[in-house]
Amino acid sequence: MKLCMIGTGYVGLVSGVCFADLGNEVTCVDKDINKINLLKRGKIPIYEPGLSELVTKNYKNKRLNFSTDLKKSVKESDIIFICVGTPTKKGGSSADLSQIFNVAKEISLSINKFKIIITKSTVPVTTGDEIEKILSKRNNRKKFSVVSNPEFLREGEAIRDFIYPDRVVIGSNNKKAGKILKNLYSPLISKGASYLQTSRRAAELIKYASNAFLATKITFINEIANLCEKTGISVEDISIGMGLDKRIGSRFLRAGPAYGGSCFPKDTKAIISTADKFKTNLSVIKSVIKSNENRSKILLDRIYQILNRKVKNKKITFLGVTFKANTDDMRDSSSLKMIPSLSKKGAIITYYDPTGHKKEFVKLKNVTNKTSIREAVQGADLVIIHTEWNDFKSLNFKNLVKGKKFTIYDMRNIYSSKKISDQGFKYYSVGK
């Protein structure tokens, strides 16, 4: 099948490359000519393990192409995926849909035969209806079908998540489109993915409800972790004990810093904004947002306690500063709250991240990037394990440190207290 992905950000690029790898002819379109030229040279604008190899392989065998010509690419394709950004509106909480509607207007000028137009970007309920209105201003409704096909890829795991999804959700009331898309996804369905066809509005809401639910699950266990810290219980026992109940499930029950990234914070706000529009109060999600916003304060307070409230001139090392492991994404990372706050209080901060130096900290006083774990931890009073990269999982702290031993605050509960204490280090973790 001939596919066109509009927007070569995270969603468009990963999905486009994976569809090409499944044997489709895919054109990834972006208006940013520099990005397109980079991609043609095999350079990947985002950090995603395994993506570069797949781009090179499929570009070489000509199943994958890159272009800035939206109209031509749409004309030559059967299925068009809209994958542009839907960030939070400036000064508001709803999703900014201007890029989606601009693309829809451009597509409407290029419908030369039956096209399936799909929103893969996360879009609020009724966006598909709006796109349909835009397209039908210039085109007969029989010449296109607007479908919602949300993506559930996680950064850092995106290729695996694409190839082995739990489910494929197609929101369409059009039988012909439904049949074509089931066929497009058949290689994944035959490997075990569930296929669900719903109304378009339902598919749009499934995406937001899923992200809001996962954010709720994390926030729930984070609050239980606070209680565990006060009662001498390990939150890991609670996660295991709860997770064994099949109705609950063990995934996304790991306590840690505030959730971050480009999706949960944005999508929880946007679903509330949609609900407001329909005069519905999503009070649970509202309190999840509030609790998560307060989480960094709670973790900061633990840092102050660990340092006996003497932060000035204390040397603090962060291992990992992105919002989670296996990504270079800093968006809404809890380190963006913690590091500035500690720097303001006079701490001397060094950080090491496997994805390198971060521009976000350049202007802060006494915050330095180091290019190795060993360098970063030398002379530290406190080492904070902020993300769970494999690089941080089997450290021999005894061999790493030359001088005085530091205290460790493991925000991802990677290590066991006994193992670290046996090496002579003071050790703190989350929810214990």
Give the residues lining the site for ligand UGA (CB under 6 A): 122, 151-155, 211, 214, 218, 252-254, 256, 259-261, 263-264, 323-324
- Which CB atom, from 158 or from 311, has the smaller least distance to ligand UGA? 158
**Structure token digits, residue 392:** 């941080």
Report helix, strand or coil for 328: coil
* Shortest separation between residue 11's beta carbon and ligand UGA, angstroms: 7
Q: Which of 28, 83, 228, 263 is catalytic?
A: 263
- Which CB atom, from 218 or from 348, has the smaller least distance to ligand UGA? 218
Under 8 Å between Cβ of 74 and 5: no
Under 8 Å between Cβ of 208 and 275: no
Closest CA to 302 of 216, 408, 417: 408
- Per DSSP, what are the bridge partners of residue 410? 385, 429
Amino acid 240 reads I
- Per DSSP, what are the bridge partners of residue 350? 317, 368
Give residue for tokens 């520099």.
34
Helices (H) and strands (E) in the chain, counts: 17, 14
Under 8 Å between Cβ of 100 and 131: yes
- Which CB atom, from 220 or from 425, has the smaller least distance to ligand UGA? 220
Active site residue 28: no
Closest CA to 117 of 130, 107, 127, 109: 107
Q: Is 236 exposed, middle or buried (0-12, 13-18, 19+ CB in 10 A)?
A: buried
Distance, in Å, from the CA atom of 358 to the CA atom of 41, rounded to the nearest integer, reads 25
Closest CA to 184 of 14, 25, 7: 25
- Which CB atom, from 206 or from 380, has the smaller least distance to ligand UGA? 206
* Shortest separation between residue 281's beta carbon and ligand UGA, angstroms: 23
- Which CB atom, from 224 or from 253, has the smaller least distance to ligand UGA? 253
**Structure token digits, residue 267:** 């999508």
* Shortest separation between residue 46's beta carbon and ligand UGA, angstroms: 12
- Which CB atom, from 95 or from 177, has the smaller least distance to ligand UGA? 95
* Shortest separation between residue 346's beta carbon and ligand UGA, angstroms: 28
Report helix, strand or coil for 429: strand
* Shortest separation between residue 292's beta carbon and ligand UGA, angstroms: 9
* Shortest separation between residue 349's beta carbon and ligand UGA, angstroms: 20
* Shortest separation between residue 412's beta carbon and ligand UGA, angstroms: 8
Distance, in Å, from the CA atom of 64 to the CA atom of 255, rounded to the nearest integer, reads 40
- Which CB atom, from 221 or from 348, has the smaller least distance to ligand UGA? 221
| 87, 242, 355 from 91: Cα distances, Å | 11, 39, 30
Tally of CA atoms within 13 A in the half-sphere of 271 that contains its CB: 24
Which residues are designated catalytic?
A: 263
